[in-house]
Structure 1
Amino acid sequence: MADSVRVERGEDRVVATLDRPDVRNAIDREMIDRLHLLCAELEAVPRVLILTGAGGVFASGADIAQLRERGAADARAGINTHAFRRIRDLPMPVIAAIDGYALGGGAELAYAADIRLGAPSARIGNPETGLGILAAAGATWRLPEIVGPARAAEMLLTGRVLDADEAYAWGLLNAVHPADALLAAAHALADRIVANDALATRYTKRALLCPDAAHPAVELDLQAELFERPEKHRRMTAFLERSKR
C-alpha cells in the first residue's frame, strides 16, 4: 500500500501527514484504508494524533474521479463517514494543523478533530452542493456544533469557503500561526495535553462527546473512578506542596 498517509510515531503522539501531492491530498479509498489502520493502532495504544497535509495543502476534498463513479450502495456504505467518525472517537485528542485548502471531505476530516489550528493560507469550506451532492461525512452535524446552526447553514447551503481570519472569527479555527510555525504550534499544544494525566484527558474527551441526555451522570461515573486512583492523590499532593513554596 502506497504511503498516501505518512505516519511518524512518538511515545505520546503520532503525526499523520496526508501525502498525495499530485491531487492536492484528495482523499481516496486507499487513504481512508490507511486512516482506518491508524485508528486501530491508536485505539489499542492511545496517543495524541496530529493530522496535517503535505505540500501546503491539508486536503482538497474527496477524490472526485473516484466519487463520480460511486452509486447509491457506496453512499449508504459511508466510506468517508465511518473513517472520520472513528477519528472523532479516538481515545486521546486529535489536532488538525491546516495549511491551504481543507475542502469538502478534507473539511469534514478537519471537523472530526478536537482542535483545529490554521496557517494564514487556510481555506475551509464545503462546496458539495455545487457538485450535485451533499456534505455527508460529518459536516451537517459537526459544523453546527462548532460554528452554530446559522453559520453552518450559510457555509453548507452556499458553498462559502472561509479564509483563515474568518474561520478563526467563527470559532472554526482555535488559532492561526505562520505556515512555518504551524506544526510546531500543534506540537506545543500536544505538549500541554500530554503533561496532564492521560486517563483524565481520555475521560474528559469521552464526556465531551456524549449526547446531552448522558449528562451529568456520565461525568459523575467517570469522576468516581478517577477519585479512587493513586494518580489523583499524587498530583494533588504535588500541587499542594508547590503552593506552600
Structure 2
Amino acid sequence: MALEQEFSTLRCHDDTHALVVELNRPQVRNAIDEVMVTELHQVCAELENNPRVMIITGTEVDVSGKGKRGIFASGADISQLRERRRDDALRGVNSTIFHRISALPMPVIAAIDGYALGGGLELALAADFRVATDRAVFSQPEAGLGIVAAAGALWRLKKAVGEPLAKQMILAGRTLNAQEALEYQLVAGIYPAPELMTAAMDLAGQIAALDPLAVRLSKQLFAMPDSVHPGVDNIAQAICFESAEKFARMDAFLEKRRT
C-alpha cells in the first residue's frame, strides 16, 4: 500500500485489523513538528480513501541512567513553536491535523505509553479510544509557556473528563497519572507496557467484527449536533436497511437462534 514508503517521523505497518502508526522522533521525545504533521496528513489521505482502523502510538526513548522508557508525544516541538507568529496560529498547524484525524471514517485508537503532554495529549484526544500503560502521564502545560491549548484541549478535554477537571489541568497545570486518567475515563484501560499493543489490537479486532458501514455512519452521527437528531439517524438507518450486510448479519443471527 502507499504507506509502505519511508517517513522520517513515522513508522507505519499494516496489521490484521488496523494500520499502526508509530510516532518516531525519539531524539526529541516525539515532539510534533511540521514534518510530522505533513506525514500525518499523508496517512489521513490514505485512510480517507481506504477506510480502516488506525492505531497511533509512540516509541521507546533512551532516558539517561534509566534505560529505555516509552513515550507517546511530549507535545509540539518547542523550537518551532517559539518562532511561530500570528499568521502561523491562524493556519492551525496542529489543530487542523488533529481535526482531520478525529474525522477519519473509521475509529482511531491511541495507545499511550509514557508522556502525553500538550499537543501529545491533544493528539490522543482526537482519537475515539485511548488505552494506556500504568506509566502514562497526561497534562496540558501550555499556559506555563505563555500560550493556550489551541489544538483541541479547550473543548475535547472538557468533553472527555468534565469541565472541573479540564479547568484544573488547563488553568492550574494539574497532571494526571494513569490511574487518575482511568478513573476520569480519559482512558478506557490500563495495561503493563508489554501488553499495550495487544490490548489496542484486541480493541481494533472488536471494531473489525462489526459492520464497517454501521460503524462509519455511527461515528459520523456521534459528531453531529443535537439539533439534527433524530432525523439524521433515520436517514443513516435507511442506508443500513438497504445494505446486503444487514441482511446477511441478521439472517446469520436468526439462523443461530434457531439451532
Question: TM-score of the superposition, structure 2-length normalised?
Answer: 0.93
Could you say what secondary structure the match of 1:232 adopts? Answer: helix
Equivalence for 2:139: 125
Q: String of CA shifts for 1:14-46, please: whole Å, max 9, x gaps.
A: 000001001100000000001000000000000
Could you say what secondary structure the match of 2:13 adopts? Answer: strand
User: Match for 1:225 among 214, 221, 239?
Assistant: 239
Q: Distance in 2 between matches of 1:119 and 1:11?
A: 22
User: Match for 1:216 among 216, 230, 241?
Assistant: 230
Offset of 1:185 from its aligned partner?
0.3
Offset of 1:11 from its aligned partner?
6.0
User: Match for 2:27 among 18, 22, 28?
Assistant: 22
User: Match for 1:156 among 163, 170, 178?
Assistant: 170
Q: Does 1:5 align with 2:16?
A: no
Q: Distance in 1 between matches of 2:198 and 2:8?
A: 23
Offset of 1:12 from its aligned partner?
4.1
Equivalence for 1:31: 36
Equivalence for 1:203: 217
| Unpaired runs of at least 5, structure 2 | 1-5, 61-69
Q: Which of 4-13 and 143-152 deviates more?
A: 4-13
Could you say what secondary structure the match of 1:49 adopts? Answer: strand
Q: Does 1:114 align with 2:114?
A: no
Question: TM-score of the superposition, structure 1-length normalised?
Answer: 0.98
Q: Distance in 1 between matches of 2:49 and 2:173?
A: 38
Offset of 1:155 from its aligned partner?
1.1
User: Match for 1:50 among 38, 50, 55?
Assistant: 55
Q: Does 1:66 align with 2:74?
A: no
Q: Distance in 2 between matches of 1:90 and 1:243?
A: 35
Q: RMSD value over aligned CA atoms?
A: 1.0
Q: Does 1:182 align with 2:187?
A: no
Could you say what secondary structure the match of 2:71 adopts? Answer: coil
Could you say what secondary structure the match of 1:95 adopts? Answer: strand
Q: Distance in 2 between matches of 1:18 and 1:222?
A: 35
Q: String of CA shifts for 1:164-197, please: whole Å, max 9, x gaps.
A: 0000001100110111000010000000100111
2:138 alignment partner AA: I
Q: String of CA shifts for 1:44-88, please: whole Å, max 9, x gaps.
A: 000000000011100011000000000011011100000000000
Q: String of CA shifts for 1:95-137, please: whole Å, max 9, x gaps.
A: 0000000000000000000000000010011000000001000
Q: Does 1:141 align with 2:150?
A: no
Q: Distance in 2 between matches of 1:154 and 1:240?
A: 51
2:32 alignment partner AA: I
Q: Distance in 1 between matches of 2:188 and 2:17?
A: 22
Offset of 1:151 from its aligned partner?
1.4
Equivalence for 1:234: 248
Q: Distance in 1 between matches of 2:211 and 2:107?
A: 13
**Structure 1 residues 187 and 12 mapped into 2: Cα distance closer, same or farther (>3 Å)?**
closer
Q: Does 1:102 align with 2:116?
A: yes
Could you say what secondary structure the match of 1:116 adopts? Answer: strand
Q: Distance in 1 between matches of 2:142 and 2:11?
A: 27
Map 1:165-180 onto structure 2 (within 5 A).
165-180=179-194
Offset of 1:163 from its aligned partner?
0.3
Moved over 3 A (4+): none
Q: Percent identity?
A: 52
